[in-house]
Amino acid sequence: MKINEIRHNQTPLTFNELFKEYCLLYKNTLSEKTYQTKVYYYNKHFKEKYGNNIITDFKFKDAQLFVNELLEKGLKPKTVKNIVNDFKVLFNYAIKNEYVNKNPFQYVEIPKFDNRIYFDFTEEEIKRFIRTALNYPDQKFRGIFTFLLHGRRLNEVLSLTWENIDFENEIYFIPPQINKARRFMTYQMTSLLKDVLQRQKILNQIQCPNSLYVFPSSVTCRKIQDIRKQFKKLLKLAGIDKKMRIHDIRHLVASYSINYLGLSVEEVSYTLGHTSIEITQRYINPRAEISKKVVEKILNSVKGA
């Protein structure tokens, strides 16, 4: 389907047709990861059973039954919520085009879940991980890990190009095409990050002189697709035997900043590029000993009264 073939009539529209039309219109406005995730969820959980159904025949009851099916498959409530949000967006698109009048996913019920992130590394483990990352033996991946410790997401770092780096003013930019917030973000370089970038530029002139990427693959000189092998090596060097994903570096930065260094939620929120402080507040760890201390203070205050 080409852009000029998007329907203008009001004949019955199936979900497959609607989704194809939506993707055609919005693919270039979404990050590659977001787009691929939407397509994956649709194809895996919806297309086979509902794809050929007429969208105007799909009611709230059908939406709730679909949600129930996802939960029965064992999907976590948070994942189900993400899928529901995708379909809300899809139906809002249909409403804007007057294909339907209502959004059947607007009022579906999803079990409540705790979306706070509990990062159970000790202060010493966190410090050891940070020290090891900043001294990782491979210069290029040391640079990537350093950027991640500045609060950036992996795709932001791997997608970064030299046009996003301003050495003169010591700032760097994360354009909306590669960040989750979908807006232009500007950050000041730390002296460490500036040094890392300057060294990386020299390395690129040797390995990949024509690459636009800050951290290109030394083999293809294109965007690096996977750093899991290097991350696994980093964990081994740091002596970390707990389960940890690359994205957890952001959790580590947030948890350590708020719970150990006492930095404000607002400061950490900006550092991580969150659109609101409510997102950052998920990293405030509830401490089990607080309840005990509170009750002990109450009891001690009335002793001998």
List the CATH number of the domain containing 52: 1.10.150.130
Say if residue 136 is in the same domain as residue 279: yes
Question: Which pLDDT band holds residue 9 (cuts at 50, 70, 90)?
Answer: low
Say if residue 87 is in the same domain as residue 183: no
Q: How many CB atoms lie within 10 A of CB 140?
A: 22
Residue 121: the pLDDT is 81
Our CA angle for 140, 153, 113, nearest 5°, is 145
Supply the range of the domain harboring residue 14: 3-96
Task: Name residue 102's amino acid.
Answer: K
Say if residue 23 is in the same domain as residue 148: no
* CATH number of the domain residue 256 falls in: 1.10.443.10
Say if residue 279 is in the same domain as residue 161: yes
Q: Is 62 exposed, middle or buried (0-12, 13-18, 19+ CB in 10 A)?
A: middle
Number of domains in the chain: 2
Say if residue 220 is in the same domain as residue 146: yes
Which of 265 and 225 is assigned the larger pLDDT? 225
Say if residue 176 is in the same domain as residue 241: yes
Supply 151's token pair: 């609060």
Does position 302 have pLDDT exceeding 50, yes or no?
no
No. of helices (H) and no. of strands (E), the chain: 14, 3
Residue 105: the pLDDT is 96
Q: Quickly tell me which residue has 């693959």 as its tokens.
A: 217
Task: Name residue 285's amino acid.
Answer: N
CB 142 within 8 Å of CB 196: yes
User: Cα separations (Å) of 175 from 166, 178, 183?
Assistant: 13, 6, 7
Say if residue 237 is in the same domain as residue 157: yes
Residue 40: the pLDDT is 95
Say if residue 89 is in the same domain as residue 136: no
Q: What is the pLDDT of residues 67-85, one digit of tens each?
A: 999 999 999 998 999 999 9
Average pLDDT over residues 264-291: 53
Average pLDDT over residues 242-252: 85
Q: Which of 280, 238, 242, 278 is nearest to 151 (CA)?
A: 280
Say if residue 83 is in the same domain as residue 167: no
Say if residue 70 is in the same domain as residue 147: no
Say if residue 135 is in the same domain as residue 69: no
d(CA 88, CA 74): 21
Say if residue 91 is in the same domain as residue 152: no
Q: What is the pLDDT of residues 120-143, one digit of tens each?
A: 788 888 889 989 999 999 999 999
d(CA 237, CA 70): 40
Would you say residue 304 lies in a domain? no
Query: Given 61, 96, 131, which residue is the final one in a domain?
Result: 96
pTM above 0.85, yes or no: no
Which residues on neighbouring strands pair with residue 186, listed in sequence order?
173
